[in-house]
Structure 1
Amino acid sequence: MSSVVEAPSAEGDTASWAGHQPLPRVEQRSERTLSIWLEQSFIQCKRLLIGWARDPATTIQTIAYPAATLLMFRVVLGDSITSATGAPSIYGTVPMVMLVAAMAGSVVSALGFKVEKATGLLGRFWTMPVHRAAGLTGRLLAEAIRVLLTSLIVLAVGVCLGFRFWYGAAAGIAMLGIPIIFGIGFAVLVTALATITEGILLVQVIGVINSLLMFFNSGFVPVFAYPTWLQMTVQNQPMSTAIDAMRGLSFDGPIAVPLLKTVAWAVGMVVVFGYPAIRGYRKAAETGA
């Protein structure tokens, strides 16, 4: 005798082949919805953070470079600045190194963007059902988290060197938010430059910007130590305003005015370089150019 196994019909027998359970329905959601944008932004952020954690260059920029820079300033210039100004230099150098580390890390992120463009990864994301803005917003979110982690490391070294919060925990939390605001604005600027420049030229351009901001600010030496014709420029450049606000929150000095100037600088960078960054990101994803 022979037995014949009948295939399931298209409708009635499908459930019996699946253990008498109906097949689950897959919810179809448009990749343009707000929930998808937020979800995929977090996914892109996580992808970048994991990649940076596995990259030695990023680890050096995040941990070794800021700590070594702060120690160098403390050993070489700390006592001299304190003697000349009458105020502990650590309350200027800690904020300054936080901001410098935020800028330096943005260069590594921008070079990673160039690699993703060259390998076609951006193009593959563009052809998938992924929210068009998730790549850029995920990158900015990852930048914010990286700046926060770097600032915490710099702060830990600074505490070992004598840095203290004189106005409590709330002021300390507010102080840590300033490098994030500054870093997001600077990251938009760097992303815009990364879409229009080559890798070597990008490093050179950002290096010049970093050097000018780093050596002409109120954290390196007080504003009155600069030539008279340069003092207004130094006092109002974005690093100086951020440093002054952070110094005011941790030690002494004005808070509201430099904080508003810092926010204005960050918003200004986002407004001016936001559209070029978005347009360049889209062009890089669509054409690889």
Structure 2
Amino acid sequence: MSTISGNAAAVAVRPVEGRSRLVWSLLDAWVVCRRNLIQTWRVPELLVFSTIQPVMFVLLFVYVFGGAINVGPGVDYVDFLMPGIFIQTAIFGSMVTGVGLAEDRQRGLIDRFRSLPMSRGALLAGRTLSDLFRNVFVVAIMLLVGIAVGFRFGDTTVPAVLVGFALMLLFSYAFAWVSAVIGLSVRNAEAAQSAGFIWVFPLTFASSAFVPVSTMPGWLQAFAEHQPITVTIDATRALFLGGPVASALLQSLAWCVGMLVVFVPWCIRVYRRSTGG
């Protein structure tokens, strides 16, 4: 709580001249982002438990199911699996945004921030940005886990790999705004967590994360091939392993832009309505 008070004081005493409103909004967002990062650093269990679940998925699918899943000639299952695990980890990490906002509102912290002379959108931008930074750390850990179990980049280039990770983080950032809408629309953090995972889980498993879409029933393939998680995994997989990437990449970028265009304004409206502002 002292950290929040200190940050609040830092915002409250700022001068009002000399910088544009946009600059102050960005600085306000950074204050909120820094507050959330400090909170995560002081509670390392948040990061530990964020990595345990994806590590368990890796071990389960590689060593239990991997021998029974055929992903095509010349492709090791672990190489097929890890891009899906990366995306899954990033998406599940973005669900923390909604849980965190619901918890802050439940504890009255959002009302405290609203009483300060700061940008109305700073809380939302700072929250999503801090969760993006946390996702970078968790995905980096998962990359090390993947390498440990045999994952290797294929016939690709360093720029392509970097584009793959950038796409992954952009996708998780777009999903964070979806999660933020959910978190601000429910009564508490427990409801936000349940409401988030109840649709993310089936959407993730009905994708190309763990098995090729071609192995699914015909009625499911039409949905699975074009949903946002599948096209993002396919684009990332092609960037990491080599292969045609343009179509999946463009579809994934379109989904990211679409989610941001829809859910950022929606989140702001829900935030103002839920806090009476």
Shorter-chain-normalised TM-score: which range?
Answer: 0.7 to 0.9
Cα distance in 2, alignment partners of residues 30 and 122 from structure 1: 28
Q: Which moved more, 1:236-245 or 1:208-217?
A: 208-217
Name the larger-Rg structure: 1
Cα distance in 1, alignment partners of residues 18 and 61 from structure 2: 52
> 1:255-280 CA distances to partner (integer Å, 9 max, x unpaired)?
11111111111122222222221112
Q: 2:162 aligns with which of 169, 173, 177?
A: 173
Any residues of structure 2 matched to 1:50-199 within 5 Å, and which? 50-55=38-43, 58-81=46-69, 83=70, 85-86=72-73, 87-166=75-154, 167-199=156-188
1:226 aligns with 2:216: yes
Contact 2:54 2:89 in 1 (8 A): yes
Amino acid of the residue matched to residue 137 of structure 2?
Answer: L
Q: 1:246 aligns with which of 236, 245, 263?
A: 236
> 1:130-152 CA distances to partner (integer Å, 9 max, x unpaired)?
11221111112112212221211
Q: 1:117 to 1:105 in 2, by over 3 A?
A: same
Contact 1:45 1:139 in 2 (8 A): yes
1:120 to partner: Cα distance: 1.7
Cα distance in 2, alignment partners of residues 27 and 183 from structure 1: 35
Q: Which moved more, 1:87-96 or 1:222-231?
A: 87-96
Contact 1:143 1:183 in 2 (8 A): no
RMSD of aligned alpha carbons: 2.1
Cα distance in 1, alignment partners of residues 29 and 49 from structure 2: 24
Contact 1:116 1:122 in 2 (8 A): yes
* Partner in structure 1 of residue 202 of structure 2: 212
User: Could you list the runs of 5+ residues in structure 2 that have no partner in the other structure?
Assistant: 1-13
Structure 1 residue matching 2:185: 3-state secondary structure: coil
Query: What is the TM-score with the length of structure 1 in the denominator?
Result: 0.83
Query: What is the TM-score with the length of structure 2 in the denominator?
Result: 0.86
Q: Matched residue pairs, number?
A: 261
Cα distance in 1, alignment partners of residues 22 and 194 from structure 2: 38
* Partner in structure 1 of residue 8 of structure 2: none
Cα distance in 1, alignment partners of residues 92 and 206 from structure 2: 16
Amino acid of the residue matched to residue 230 of structure 1?
Answer: L
Amino acid of the residue matched to residue 185 of structure 1?
Answer: A
Amino acid of the residue matched to residue 173 of structure 1?
Answer: L
